[in-house]
Amino acid sequence: MSTPLFEPRAVNFVDRVRDSFARQGAMQTLGASLGSVTPGAVDIEFPWAPGLTQQNGFLHAGMVATALDSACGYAGFTLMASDAAVLTIEFKINLLAPAKGELFRMEGRVLKPGRTITVCEGRAFAIEGSQEKLVATMGCTLMAVTGRDNIQG
């Protein structure tokens, strides 16, 4: 996916993403690490692990969704104002092939940023040796929220 050029509103958008990512217990459970973080585009990677599987040993669709949701959410977050937190309103995922691989890379990309509503797309790739395969796509709607005490970053 090519990504249009977006202008971040918060100069420290990379730090904001890294800080929030570090607070997500789910990302630690996935063994996930942040890859590239640029305006409107965030990548997340993690290795296969037995605790992330469905009944045939492939990555559970929900774990694919977990990583894609974080990739999309943080892609949107890169463009939000410095007092805004990000919430996912909804997402849809299409599983194109069994998520079978040693390593997984998730790409979150902003399609349309907005003051309140941001729409993103995500793609999940399974990597095995030198092979990389598209295994899932996500469409995702985010909301920027401000002024709620218990919701930050």
Q: Which residues bind its own copies (CB under 8 A)?
A: 20-21, 23-26, 28-29, 49-56, 60-63, 65-70, 85, 87-98, 111-112, 116-117, 119, 121, 134, 137, 139, 141, 143, 150-153
Tell me how far, at minimum, the Cβ of 19 lies from its own copies, in Å. 8
Nearer to its own copies, 107 or 121 (CB): 121
Tell me how far, at minimum, the Cβ of 48 lies from its own copies, in Å. 10
Tell me how far, at minimum, the Cβ of 20 lies from its own copies, in Å. 4
Q: Three-state SS string across the chain, please? A: CCCCCCCCCCCCHHHHHHHHHHHCHHHHHHCCEEEEEECCEEEEEEECCHHHECCCCCECHHHHHHHHHHHHHHHHHCCCCCCCEEEEEEEEEEECCCCCCCEEEEEEEEEECCCCEEEEEEEEEEEECCEEEEEEEEEEEEEEECCCCCCCC
Nearer to its own copies, 39 or 63 (CB): 63
Tell me how far, at minimum, the Cβ of 71 lies from its own copies, in Å. 10
Nearer to its own copies, 8 or 122 (CB): 122
Cα–Cα distance for residue pair 108/31, rounded to 1 Å: 18
Nearer to its own copies, 11 or 148 (CB): 148
